[in-house]
Each structure stands twice: as C-alpha cells, then as structure tokens.
Amino acid sequence: MINPKILLIIPAYNESEGIIQVVQKVEQYCKNSKYSIDYVVINDGSTDNEEEVLKEHNINHVELINNLGIGGAVQTGYLYAKESGYDIAVQFDGDGQHDIESLPHLLEPVINDEADFTVGSRFLDESNSEFKSSKSRQFGIKFLSSLIYMSSKIRIKDVTSGYRAGNKKVVNQFVNRYPRQYPEPESYMHLFAGDIRVKEVGVRMFERTTGASSINMVKGINYMISVSLSILASSLFGRRDK
C-alpha cells in the first residue's frame, strides 16, 4: 500500500473538557508525520458544551443528534471513512488515553499487508505502557480474552482496547455490521468469521485525565455477564455464516 489515506476516528461523549488537547496533539503529530492523516471527531449526542467547543475551534466533526453509544459513534466514523475514500481507518479515543506516538505500530502491519486489522495492546512484552488499568478490570480483560480464545483459538490479550486500525476490507465490514453494546470484544468474533487477519501490537496508553468511566462495580459485573453471552452468540452465528 503506497501513500495510503488514513483517517483517525475520534468518538467523544461529553469530552468538552479535554477534546481540544486531544485534537491539538493529533494535529501536531499529523503535521510532522510521513503519513497522510486526517481526523474526524464523532460527537455522540453530548449533553455538555462539546458541540460548542468543537465549532468554536473549527474542529472537523460529525454531530449525532442522539447518543448512539460507542458502537454507533465508531460505526459512523467508519461510514465517514468509506464515503470519503480512506484506505485505513483508526479508532482513537477522545478521552486522552491513547498515545498518538504509538500510531505507527498500528499502521505499519496494515500498510505492509501483514494484517487487515491491528489492535493496540498494553499487555504485550513490547508495549511500553505503564498504565495497565485497575486489577479488577485486568481480571475481566483476561477472562474475556480466554473466552474469545476458547471460541476462536485466536489469542487477543487486550480485548477491550479501543486503539485499533483497519484496511478497506475491515471498513466495509464494519459499515455493514458493527456491534453496538460491546463493540471491542464482540467485534473480534465477526472479524474472525470474515477471515480478517488480526494482529495485536504493543502500544502506550495513559490513564484518562478528564471525564469519568460509566462502569462501576455493579455495572461491571453486568457488563461481564452480558458481553460473555454476546461473544458466545457471535461465535455461534459466525460459524453458521461460514
């Protein structure tokens, strides 16, 4: 792939406090990068003044009238990428957790045709990420990783990572079908069923500095049960589709 057009999809919900800093880092990186990179912020029906901030700073964005959740926001970004003719789409969180300097680790396997889809991981030996998330969340991630491995025989260690990149084959698949409730772990089952080549690469991540996670202990337990059932269901439907 020579001189690919790359789009960063930045979903953001009520991130008015930190979205400017995230976009400024992205713009500075893109200015000095050897790659041709654009970005789009997907304002997922925010109830704070995020839309006002995005307009005031002339930030390229799509405003969703209603809150679709992370799955719907990211799928909107993939639709934007397809309609605009991008070769690679990258998911990049709007809360400041992802390190833009790690972007080449995600891009190079796709550009070199070593993978169709890459996922940035905190848990590989080559990752220099000091932030690994809380112990309870690490346990949940390991459990989901084991469940996906049992269902697919493919090991992804950082299954909830939202730092991911895909080529046009992936973009087309996600435009047509992208999980809404549990998009990161569940989407792997759809990718594997579509014979998408997935590669996990080491990246650096940070703890969020603004906003707050919507998942508490009770929600976390419900999340684990629900996403586990979704992974199993996706695995069964994927086998049926083949």
Is the predicted pLDDT of residue 1 greater than 90, yes or no? Answer: no
- pLDDT band (50, 70, 90) for residue 65: very high
Candidates 120, 103, 98, 113; CA nearest to 34 is: 103
pLDDT tens per residue, range 219-228? 667 767 777 7
Is 39 within a domain? yes
Euclidean distance between CA atoms 119 and 159, whole angstroms: 8
Left if phi > 0, otherwise alpha if psi is -120 to 50, otherwise beta: which for 6? beta
**Cα 133 → chain centroid:** 16
| CATH code assigned at 20 | 3.90.550.10
Is 153 within a domain? yes
Euclidean distance between CA atoms 63 and 209, whole angstroms: 23
Candidates 220, 232, 234, 233; CA nearest to 140 is: 220
Is 137 within a domain? yes
pLDDT tens per residue, range 176-220? 999 887 788 888 988 998 899 999 999 999 986 665 454 444 466
Degrees to nearest 5, angle at CA 13 with 196 and 48: 170
pLDDT tens per residue, range 228-240? 777 777 666 554 4
Is 96 within a domain? yes
Is 38 within a domain? yes
Across 72-81, average pLDDT: 97
Domain with 220, as residue range(s), is 6-238
The larger pLDDT score, comparing residue 81 to residue 226, is at: 81
Is 126 within a domain? yes
**Cα 222 → chain centroid:** 22
Is 224 within a domain? yes
- Report CA torsion sign: 175, 176, 182, 184: negative
Long-range Cβ contacts of 223-226 (<8 Å, 24+ apart): 223/140, 223/182, 224/140, 224/143, 224/144, 226/181, 226/182
Q: How far is CA 236 from CA 106, 118, 129, 222, 233, in A?
A: 29, 24, 34, 21, 5
Is 1 within a domain? no
Structural domain count, the chain: 1
